[in-house]
Amino acid sequence: MFDETNETGAIILVVDDVITNVELMRLQLTRAGYQVLTALNGELALEIIESTLPDLILLDVMMPGMNGFEVCAKLKEDPHTQLIPVVLVTALHEVEDRIKGIEAGADDFISKPFNRVELLTRVKSLLRIRKLYRQLERSYQEIETKNSILTEELRMARHVQQHLLPVKFPKMKKLSYEVAYRPTIEIGGDFYDFISVSDDKMGIFVSDVSGHGVSAAMLTMVVSTMMRSITQEFSKPVEILDKLNQQFGAMVDGELSGTFVTAFSLLIDQSTGRLSYANAGHPNPLLVRGENGELVKLDAEGFPLGLFDTSEYEFKEIDIRPGDKIVLYTDGIFDVVNKDKKFYGLNQFFKLVEEMGHLPAKEMTQAILQRIEEFSEGLSQPDDICLVIVEYLK
């Protein structure tokens, strides 16, 4: 077995039709600690290589039958043998012959009669290169294995996360919904949910865990579980955020200290058009007035979840009218960057919402995403994108 801490122990195949040359090279190489295989012609050499892959081949050029150029070319065409170093041992000194050897794929040349020191030096040098090839192959295989495992883990995590997101929206006579969700990788840190409170009241929750990728997605799963448990008892947005902050803050205290979640919780009463809401450091949603296209920011004070043990969340209410739309989103939608490294920006996003505000919820969502995607020019984005549009029907 080839000892990769040094080159001794490597298997070297010597191919020459002159038995004296074969024995001389075998003797020198054996004394240096190498294992030596021998062949007296090219055909026999290829048969030996099929059963035992050598670490290096010393190949005579002028042989009956297949010459050294032909054997070398055949070895370099085969994926199983193309990385084995081949040294042409030749008495030919013409430049054309060297070029022919290079074209056949030879890695080096030794002139006949060979010098013992030159032989061992070239062999040692090429075996070191061979060792590096093997190390690179192993590293590549390890990376491929890790990527395969990671891909499978991401696939499973995405499967779990997809089951956390609502598949169906609550049916409300006066409300229509549309959602777009675009994670940066297989899974993301954004989350949204719809909470049925009564026949006329429906809650909406949108959140964004700090960071993105696998770790953010795992925390998103925790937040979603906590939120759904809390909404079994509480429906008021302020109460939901307060309880979430307590539970999530207790969980991230310690090693996860500094991890936080922005969140927005609202409650719509379709019978009265009354909308109540509270904000935990999340980008302010927008209310688009159907009668004149006016944009109203649904702003409210409150720190993100997990930053402080106790935090007060401002309670606000506003009346909505038929034709109005509520636009909730995460910061990834305005942090989109293009190839010129320019961000889309919050103000431009507001203008886009205002421009598309006359469209029904579904068409409005599609139009906004299309404009955002055109700006990004197909570039992978640094953050997840979540867009929720709710229309209060006439």
Tokens matching residue 77: 């065409």
Amino acid code (one letter) for 57: I
Cα diameter, the chain: 105
Q: Which pLDDT belongs to residue 383?
A: 79
- Report the chain's mean pLDDT, rounded to a whole number: 86
**Rounded distance between C-alpha atoms, residue 132 and residue 39, angstroms:** 27
pLDDT confidence band for 111 (50 / 70 / 90): confident
Name the residue with higher pLDDT: 325 or 308.
Answer: 325
358-366 LR contacts (CB < 8 Å, sep 24+): 358/293, 360/176, 360/391, 361/176, 361/177, 361/178, 361/325, 361/389, 361/390, 361/391, 362/176, 362/178, 364/178, 364/325, 364/389, 365/178, 365/179, 365/180, 365/389
pLDDT reading at 96 higher than 80 = no
Picking from 14, 34, 37, the residue whose alpha carbon sits closest to that of residue 25 is 14
Nearest CA-CA partner of 394 in 175, 99, 85: 175
Query: What is the rounded CA–CA span in Å between residue 380 and residue 186?
Result: 12
Residue boundaries of the structural domains of the chain: 11-138, 165-392
Give the lowest-confidence range in 94-108, 139-153, 373-387: 139-153
Closest CA to 85 of 106, 63, 62: 106
| pLDDT attached to residue 40 | 94
Average pLDDT over residues 302-307: 92
pLDDT digit string, tens, across residues 210-256: 865 566 677 787 888 899 889 988 999 999 999 999 998 888 776 56
What is this structure's pTM?
Answer: 0.62
pLDDT-based confidence at 18, cuts 50/70/90?
Answer: very high
In the sheet that holds 274-280, the strands lie side by side as 190-196, 201-209, 261-269, 274-280, 316-319
CA atoms within 13 A on the CB side of 131: 17
Beta bridge partners of 35: 11
Q: Are 159 and 172 in contact (CB under 8 A)?
A: no
Fold of 165-392: Phosphatase 2c; domain 1 (3.60.40)
pLDDT at 280: 96
Considering only CA atoms, which of 32, 21, 20 is closest in space to residue 12?
32
For 54-71, the DSSP string reads -SEEEEESS-SSS-HHHH
Structure-token pair, residue 10? 């490597």
CATH code: domain 11-138 is: 3.40.50.2300
Angle at the Cα of 262 from the Cα atoms of 283 and 244, rounded to 5 degrees: 140
Q: In terms of Cα–Cα distance, which of 240, 238, 218, 242 is closest to 228? A: 240
